Amino acid sequence: MPEGPGGPVHPAGTVDPAERADEVWHRALLPQPVSDLPGDVALHHALSFHGTVMRGGLLKAVEDAIEAGDGEHLDAVASAYLWLGVGEVADLVGRVRSAVEAGGTRRLAEAETLERESQQEIDAVMPDDAALEAVLLAKVVESPGAFSPGGVPRFSWADHVRDQAGES
């Protein structure tokens, strides 16, 4: 299938939004956003946070970021979900962050309650990858120019290791 600036071009000359969303999703998995365009940046932050939530829960994801001194990451995550149109998740991340920073997880009973309630809320809005994929598909259709054109950039694990080590 021929490639156009927005992804695979079908015989009618249109880009299939589902294929385009899949391409954008896979690029967002790279260590850095592939461009400074708002869609690429938002999906990169949302997807990295989403993966952490899926592996350990919302409270753990927020606590880990706070413990790492990475409040900017949580700000970026909240902004990402707002841009993607999922303000409920942005609000929830902010509320859990505030609770943790205020000491709301010092007592076991409070921590367990916060964990259970926040997980129920995130599961109601963003229970799995399919929910985030649906949000992305809607944004690709609504704002195709917010995502960089073209395919997945060339990337190898050896390049990543070399970049992390500061080698050229």
The answer to whether residues 150 and 4 touch, using CB atoms and an 8 Å cutoff, is: no
**Looking at residue 150, what is its pLDDT?**
67
pLDDT truncated to tens, each residue of the chain (168 aa)?
455 555 554 444 567 889 999 999 989 988 899 999 999 999 999 999 999 999 999 999 999 999 998 889 999 999 999 999 999 999 999 999 999 999 988 899 999 999 999 999 999 999 999 999 999 999 999 999 999 986 555 455 555 556 666 655
**Looking at residue 71, what is its pLDDT?**
87
Buried/exposed code over 41-60 (b: 16+ C-beta within 10 A; e: otherwise): bbbbbbbbbbebbbeebbbe
- Residue ranges per structural domain of the chain: 16-143
**Looking at residue 167, what is its pLDDT?**
56
The three-point CA angle 30-72-38 to 5° equals 50
